[in-house]
Chain A
């Protein structure tokens, strides 16, 4: 935890989504690391050891999301991972979040208030979200 901020890793192939997330998360005091595809995501996970991950399911390659997830879990199972999903996306393979070992799913576009609230709860940070 550098500078004693929580680190959140965001992996999404849409740069605008990443940027928006960064703005929102930084405003609540998080340090944000971003990655634009599955491989970079795993790499970043290994290097930055985040406290939480937001992972897009449908990236350029099919299965990229689930593969990245499995690799991250292999490195450190304890880090909570939230899935970012668009409505109507088909979860290739496992359809149960429990099966994938996910902490939760966010439907895009994510409501910032809900996002921040849930993250605080997950990371057990005290205090309300402004």
Chain B
């Protein structure tokens, strides 16, 4: 485009040309009508005589060719070549009409000759500098010719000023020189101004385009960022980066590779736009690839012709694939290099500074997403391992324990026992129950530690899901002679939680309350407090020393007082409660006085803050 503009006589871009042609057409109506008015009103108002018929004919000619132009304006504008030819034609016709008009209104002395200046100004808009000066000279020549010609006497009355002037040759020469000077100055001014304007226009257009481009880039980067962070699946992230990078560059293909676990080899990755054959061409060993070695040092490398550059490893395969130029940069996050990314073009291309920066930006964008996905993947794997381990261990530990307990429980049924046998039996029974409880609590503690939110988080009603737990607690309390109260203000609350987790939290708290209370009552209560649900377990039990209140949430910790009661316990209950409550996004606090009782208050966020 730029080449076309400077070499052509006609300067403006074609769209502007069309607009300007419209404008000239409109001006021409005015010109034609002005001549007619001049012819009609001039003689009566100014007292001069004008050749009515010829001038009217000129005016009509102008008006009619303008009409033709107007009617055919779309056909003219259809192709640039046609538009340009029309412009030349119009300029020629206009000048011919103008010259006739000047001639018919008195030649060199006609004030109409100043209109040449107007045409020169218009010319400055349309034509190159050189063409304008040429026209100026041409105007001068025309006037000179008109000056030399004798004006037909019959058109001017002898007593008009004009006639006197027309017949005096020295005045004619002065007029001619003056007009020529006027034309040249006008041309100079007009062309200077328009060329400055044009420069500014170009600069504006260029910066407008650059701005557009930058804006698009930013938008694309943002979209890519969103897209890439929308998934935690590493493969998907890599694929998205490869695809979007290719699109943003308008390139042929993109290939990225990440370091494997050892951190030494570039292996896993993703590609877009490459054939399977090329992907399978063979391993790229980092040490053996000069491009990769340099990129991993932190540099951005570009290769103009990959099939010919010795730094590139698989030249022949690249040539067959149709890869020409390549740009590569490291994928880094926080001073750690995760891998490399490459962009390939199908045509030879020199990548600009801006493009290199763009690739770095894309790589950085992807790096964070990759890291998240990778970490997430590792956590998932860890979770799965943990779960499997817990489940297997649980089963393997539980079965023998259950079998042993079964046998012990069956012993009395096989025949009467003496006192010592009863005693031994009771001890064995108690210790095995210990083991069973520990295994159960360990499993709970282990699963409470899982990182991932399971899909079992759903809106649940608190009291409803604790029904069974409360019933069991009530039974347990009653069998110890304690009273069990519920302080519910009648309503139930909805919260986002795993029902199993809720049961574990409160069954642990309630079991503790019942176990460590020997007279009095155990209370369960709940109320809605703003955006939070408050649920509490109160007892009139042994209480907890202030000094120990921080440590009770530690795993396997049992207070001295608790141990002194002789109650069997693992010490894991409260650590399970603490972990599960934290995972639900809540808090647990303790209010306790030794010898008087304790109150554990659990605050959990609601699913939506209204009582159901």
Q: Which residues of A contact B (CB under 8 A)?
A: 14, 16-17, 19-21, 23-24, 27-28, 58, 86-89, 108-112
B391 nearest in chain A by CB position: A88
Select which of A87, A89, A112 is within 8 A of B440 by beta carbon. Answer: A87
CA of A51 to CA of B412, assembled, Å: 25
1/0 contact string of B399-428 vs chain A (CB within 8 Å): 101111111011111100000000000000
Select which of A23, A86, A89, A109 is within 8 A of B414 by beta carbon. Answer: A23
Q: Which residues of B contact A (CB under 8 A)?
A: 391, 394-395, 398-399, 401-407, 409-414, 436, 440, 443
B432 nearest in chain A by CB position: A109
B447 nearest in chain A by CB position: A88
Does B402 contact A19, Cβ atoms closer than 8 Å? no
Decide yes or no: A16 and B443 within 8 Å by CB, A86-B399, A108-B402, A109-B402 being known contacts: no
CA of A70 to CA of B394, assembled, Å: 28
Does A16 contact B404, Cβ atoms closer than 8 Å? yes
A110 nearest in chain B by CB position: B406
Decide yes or no: A24 and B402 within 8 Å by CB, A16-B407, A88-B443 being known contacts: no
Output the least CB separation between B200 and chain A (Å).
77
CA of A10 to CA of B401, assembled, Å: 19
Decide yes or no: A86 and B410 within 8 Å by CB, A14-B403, A17-B403 being known contacts: no
Complex interface: chain A residues within 8 A of B394 (CB): 88
Does B395 contact A20, Cβ atoms closer than 8 Å? no
Complex interface: chain A residues within 8 A of B413 (CB): 23-24, 27-28, 112
CA of A20 to CA of B400, assembled, Å: 13
Output the least CB separation between B191 and chain A (Å).
90
Does A86 contact B395, Cβ atoms closer than 8 Å? yes
B415 nearest in chain A by CB position: A27
Does A20 contact B403, Cβ atoms closer than 8 Å? yes
Apart from A86-B398, A112-B412, what 12 extra A-B contacts exist at CB < 8 Å? A16-B404, A16-B407, A20-B407, A21-B406, A24-B413, A28-B413, A86-B399, A88-B391, A108-B406, A109-B403, A109-B405, A112-B409
Does B440 contact A20, Cβ atoms closer than 8 Å? no
The DSSP consensus for interface residues of chain B is: helix
Best-buried of B403, B405, B414 by chain A (most CB within 10 Å): B403
Does B399 contact A109, Cβ atoms closer than 8 Å? no
| Closest 9 pairs between A and B when the two form their complex, measured CB to CB | A20-B406, A27-B413, A16-B403, A20-B410, A109-B405, A23-B410, A109-B402, A108-B402, A24-B413
B403 nearest in chain A by CB position: A16
Decide yes or no: A21 and B399 within 8 Å by CB, A88-B443, A109-B405 being known contacts: no
Does B407 contact A19, Cβ atoms closer than 8 Å? yes
Output the least CB separation between B544 and chain A (Å).
29
Select which of B395, B410, B436 is within 8 A of A24 by beta carbon. Answer: B410
CA of A17 to CA of B410, assembled, Å: 10
A90 nearest in chain B by CB position: B391
Does A24 contact B409, Cβ atoms closer than 8 Å? yes
Output the least CB separation between A50 and chain B (Å).
20
CA of A94 to CA of B577, assembled, Å: 30
Best-buried of B391, B398, B405, B406 by chain A (most CB within 10 Å): B406
Decide yes or no: A17 and B395 within 8 Å by CB, A24-B413, A27-B413, A27-B414 being known contacts: no
